Amino acid sequence: MRFHKAFLLIFLFTLVGYTVQAQDSEDYEYTSEFVWGVNKNTNGGLIGGFVLKKSIRLNENQFQTFGLELMNVKHPKEARISNPLNGNSFIWGKENYLYSIRLQYGREQVIFKKASFQGLQIHAILAGGPTIGLLAPYYIQNSQGVNEPFDPEKHVDFNSILGTGNILQGIGESEVKFGLNLKPALSFEFGAFKSNVSGIELGLMFEGFTEEIILVPNASNKQFFTSFFVTLFYGRRR
């Protein structure tokens, strides 16, 4: 709820700022921008994923954008516990990872323009496109020290699980799930250098797949996902 309220406050601030003119100064003219970022969202962990975006100027205040997002989508019921014998942690009941690869085309509208060397610039963003979901099995280490996919029918005692498998183990066994994504957002750009850009992007992510995605089989699973997100980004203009 605090995430939700913060987003609404920033959105209201933006509506007020829309009527305010930026400081008079010589503008830095650029035709394109490339940024990369680190994402935190309500469907992810400490780091939700990574973002790449290319923007091309259409006119003074509008850009078309081409984006790529790589995200790890988690189930809200995932609970990490520790083995009492060795202290290694694992997610009890988790059967699959969902790696979401989002391709996006969108538009950005400048609604508050900053001066060349100071201030804040705000963009309104709408982007969307196809999603390629990789549903990869979640590997655990069993009581014999062997890594194998978690099976809710077989692994009924969490004390018999010694820990998780190796990083990205099972990615080669992924099932491909197709979907669509839509992102309305606000971008807040800071920085005093003309050719560099840095800031944060706040928004909502709506994502749906052609079928239900099973992440934790003994919990309620979904076909459609909604999340709030914040992305810290940095890039260059030319």
105-145: pLDDT as tens digits: 999 999 998 766 567 899 999 999 999 999 999 999 998 98
Q: Is residue 106 part of a domain?
A: yes
Q: Which amino acid type is present at position 117?
A: F
Q: Is residue 205 part of a domain?
A: yes
Q: Is residue 25 part of a domain?
A: no
Residue 27: the pLDDT is 57
- The count of domains in the chain is 1
What's the sign of the alpha-carbon dihedral 163, 156, 144, 85?
positive
Residue 116: the pLDDT is 61
Residue 32: the pLDDT is 93
Q: Is residue 163 part of a domain?
A: yes
Mean pLDDT of the chain: 88
pLDDT > 90: percent of the chain:
68
Model pTM?
Answer: 0.84
Look-up of token digits 């995200």: 71
Q: Is residue 15 part of a domain?
A: no
Q: Is residue 13 part of a domain?
A: no
Label residues 91-102 b or e (16+ Cβ within 10 Å = b).
bbbbbbbbbbbb
- Asked if 163 contacts 83 with a C-beta cutoff of 8 angstroms, the reply is yes
Q: Is residue 26 part of a domain?
A: no
What is the C-alpha separation between 171 and 200, in angstroms, rounded? 31
Q: Is residue 230 part of a domain?
A: yes
6: left (phi over 0), alpha (psi -120 to 50) or beta: alpha
Residue 24: the pLDDT is 39
Mean pLDDT, residues 14-27 taken together: 42
* pLDDT higher than 50, residue 170: yes
List the CATH number of the domain containing 68: 2.40.160.20
Residue 195: the pLDDT is 82
Residue 5: the pLDDT is 54
Q: Residue 56 sits in which domain range?
A: 2-8+31-237
Q: Who has greater pLDDT, 19 or 83? A: 83
